[in-house]
Amino acid sequence: MTALDAVAVYLPPHRAPIESFAEPLGLTDIQVRLFRRFHGLSEIGIDPDRTLSDLLHAAASALPGLRGQEHRIRYVLHGRALPVVAPYPHNPLHDVCRALGLEHAVAFTVTQQSCASGLLAIELAGRLLAGDPPGDTGDSDDSALALVLTGEKAFTQDARLLPGTSLFGEGAAACLVSATGPRDRLLAYACNQRGEFDSEVGETPERFQREYRPSLAEVIHRALAEAGVTLDDIHLVLPHNVNIVTWQRLCLLLKFPVERVVLDNVPVNGHVFCADAFINYRTARERGLLREGERYLVAAVGVGDGATFSAMVFEH
Amino acid sequence: MTASNAGTEIDAELRPRVVDTMTAILTRLLRRTEPVTETMRLADELDLSSSLSLELLLELEDRLEIQIDVETMNPDELQTVGELATFIAGHSRPG
């Protein structure tokens, strides 16, 4: 069963108040006040001195269990929201692999589900590892691993602002994934791709906004059913950090206490693309919110060339 | 009476002020030539999006000098202008 053997996070030391983004992003006073009052945004992490490769490398370097185990890494996946992040022939993912001594691994990027691509990358990593033949020794200490990286630079207008919804922050997360690890085992993954909500040529924003919460609730319930549990069995939710009000209202729809959703990072980091779930995982661990055997839910929504609603159930 | 409003103490003095202010704001936000009334349905009839509904709440807070308890506001249960006004009159404090 797919498992997260280790998770590490890098967040920039520098944060800027959301008001400082008003002029460069063309936000009105009302839009900034809405972000602060209802969306719960206060500061956004930005790291002008670090490239995308630097961000990913900083997260991966902090992973306990990677150093000395490089030979076991068979796959490196970058779960990414933005389809293009560097001009050809530059490849930030390959740069990171070289810097980490992982040139031998199969490295590729998953982008087609926007901010839900990070969860897809975990699922794919698990499936790839499960489909591989066992290692030469057959020893579980020598079994193959995958490294899943998430995190991006907020480097264009589209990469910095989700109009009326959120501001993107910079940062990165790294997950060491195994096919059979004992920690943070993936019990279920559910995903619903909705091409009709393409942001360029799809349905109206009003209809998307109206269907957002029911669609996310549906995929959450599907993941729970697949895991053989109910919401009552879920100890904690690790959300995508889109904003506070969306989660307050989703919790009313789900009848789940919003106090058990880890929303700590929304005000101080913004929406860190595909890395939110893993940043929130670290926060949950640091705050001692997860105990052995407890189940938790991870949810994400990707918006771009169509919308993707995703949910995962884990056992800690 | 909606589930969100059930059992709530409504501020009888505040509610008509909420209705008057809300209908005026909605008429402007939605660029309507016809007046907005209490019985109109926010999403189905007025096509009010989530984003615009938050803008409405912010302006109501400003104009009426109140703070609305949005944490307990379930938009799925507040279908009409009047239902939203009743919720606000029962779930806000001086801002």
Q: How far apart are CA A312 and CA A40, in angstroms?
A: 25
CB proximity under 8 Å: B 10-29 to A: none
Q: Is A210 on the interface with B (CB under 8 A)?
A: yes
N- to C-terminal Cα separation, chain B: 26
Pick the CATH number of A3-178 from 3.30.930.10, 3.40.47.10, 3.10.20.30, 3.40.50.720: 3.40.47.10
For domain A185-315, give the CATH number: 3.40.47.10
Tens-digit pLDDT profile for residues B2-53: 666 776 788 889 999 999 999 999 999 999 999 999 999 998 899 898 889 9
Q: Is B65 on the interface with A (CB under 8 A)?
A: no
What CATH class is the domain B14-94?
mainly alpha
Q: Is B37 on the interface with A (CB under 8 A)?
A: no
* Of residues B43, B47, B54, nearest to A245 (C-beta): B54
Q: Which stretches of chain A are DSSP H helices?
A: 22-25, 29-37, 52-61, 92-100, 117-131, 157-160, 205-227, 244-254, 266-269, 276-286
For residues A55 and A170, the answer to whether their CB atoms sit within 8 Å is yes
DSSP H or E segment with residue A312? strand A306-315
Task: Please spell the DSSP secondary structure of A16-47, one letter per residue.
Answer: EEGGGGHHHHT--HHHHHHHHHTS---EEE--
Angle between helices B81-90 and B14-29 (to 10 degrees): 130
Tens-digit pLDDT profile for residues A111-162: 999 999 999 999 999 999 999 876 654 555 689 999 999 999 999 988 999 9
pLDDT at A137: 47
Nearest residue on chain B to A213, judged by CA atoms?
A: B76
- Confirm whether the ipTM is greater than 0.85: yes
Q: Name B16's Cβ contacts closer than 8 Å, sequence gap at least 6.
A: none
pTM, two decimals, is 0.94
Q: Is B43 on the interface with A (CB under 8 A)?
A: yes
Among residues A243, A50, A90, A83, which one has the least CA distance to residue A159? Answer: A83
